Amino acid sequence: MLNKIDKLMAEVAAMHAKNAGEAENLRIKYLGRKGIMNDLMEEFRSVAPEKKRELGQKLNTLKQAITERINSLKDQAAVTETAGPAVDLTRTPYPIPLGTRHPLTIVKNEIVDIFSRLGFTLAEGPEVEDDWHVYSSMNFADDHPARDMQDTFFIESHPDIILRSHTSSVQARVMEKQQPPIRVICPGRVYRNEAISARAHCFFHQVEGLYVDKNVSFTDLKQVLLLFAQEMFGPDTKIRLRPSYFPFTEPSAEMDISCHLCGGKGCSFCKHTGWVEILGCGMVDPAVLDANGIDSSVYTGYAFGMGIERITNLKYQVKDLRMFSENDTRFLDEFVSAN
């Protein structure tokens, strides 16, 4: 029996098949119910007990070798049969898995799209900024708490160079270069020195808008924001403005929208108030216009700013802010259809 096994082992390497049919015939011949391997197994039963161990191992190796050889012959046959003789080995493998857009990009694009239909153009600026563009030109007093170490990331040894904590710095950069009419939308990443948790992160994304021209009024602001809210969250969305404070706007307001989950009736999402806050806004403080080279006796303007994460959370109910920066494809793949 040992001889038979050795002879068969030698046959294995020499096996060949021109097509899948021949490979299948080989399988039947060697591994089929009435095949050679089965005959050997029958023979094995009557082998003396002390030889069983050695022979059994050999039989297993043989069976494995035959199976692998036939499988590889089948694979080869399948390749030549489907691709024909001219196999292009440089071809990209299919299917190519499609990536998804990041949810923050999807929402940012949507926001930018809505405002560009209202005549706003895109403006972008650096994330590493100087104090002037982030704070001083925006009318922050020298001792304003936002400049504090707790909020702002400073570049070591350059106290004047910081990571921008809001995209208002881009507004400053636009105003210093351009005279009104100005109508820009500024999306971008901003940094604040906060402990990372489900509700806060050390960086997030904003979109700010600025409109400066003659006779720009608070009514214009309100109308544009109402239109934005209805485009973003549906035509039945209502808005509400509450008085607030920002150094760079006067008067200032925070805007709520009627909760789009319960339609304003009150639910756990809106803490049973029927309203959720989405942005800050106001009329550009004349001191900001003057500091940036725009004559405040001729021009007025409005500005608004919102967190993209916040808007995304409202649209998609993402519960944990950290999901946005962890690159977990299980999370990202949920936005395939939102592309």
- Radius of gyration for the alpha carbons in the chain, expressed in angstroms and rounded: 35
Among 17, 281, 289, 308, binds ligand PHE (CB under 6 A): 281
The smaller minimum CB distance to ligand PHE, of residues 237 and 252, is found at 252
At which residue do the structure tokens 């001083």 appear? 136
Closest distance of CB 89 from ligand PHE, Å: 54
Alpha carbons 131 and 151: distance in angstroms, whole number: 13
Give the residue from 103, 115, 120 showing the smallest Cα distance to 205: 103
Residue 306's CB: how many other CB atoms inside 10 A? 23
Alpha carbons 228 and 62: distance in angstroms, whole number: 73
- Token pair recorded at residue 317: 């109910």
69 binds ligand PHE (CB under 6 A): no
Among 129, 131, 208, 285, binds ligand PHE (CB under 6 A): 208
Interacting span for ligand PHE (CB under 6 A) from 105-113, 194-202, 230-238, 302-310: 302-310
Among 275, 304, 324, 335, binds ligand PHE (CB under 6 A): 304
Which residues, numbered 165-184, are part of the site for ligand PHE (CB under 6 A)? 166, 168
103 binds ligand PHE (CB under 6 A): no
Among 187, 264, 280, 301, binds ligand PHE (CB under 6 A): 280
321 binds ligand PHE (CB under 6 A): no
At which residue do the structure tokens 């690159």 appear? 327
211 binds ligand PHE (CB under 6 A): no
At which residue do the structure tokens 């020195």 appear? 193
232 and 110 Cβ atoms separated by less than 8 Å: yes
282 binds ligand PHE (CB under 6 A): yes
Alpha carbons 51 and 49: distance in angstroms, whole number: 5
Q: Give per-residue burial for 249-286: e unless 16+ CB within 10 Å, then b.
A: beebbbbbbbbbeeebeeeeebeeebbbbbbbbbbbbb
Closest distance of CB 230 from ligand PHE, Å: 20
User: What is the total count of residues that contact ligand PHE (CB under 6 A)?
Assistant: 11
- Binding site residues, ligand PHE, CB under 6 A: 166, 168, 208, 246, 249, 280-282, 303-305
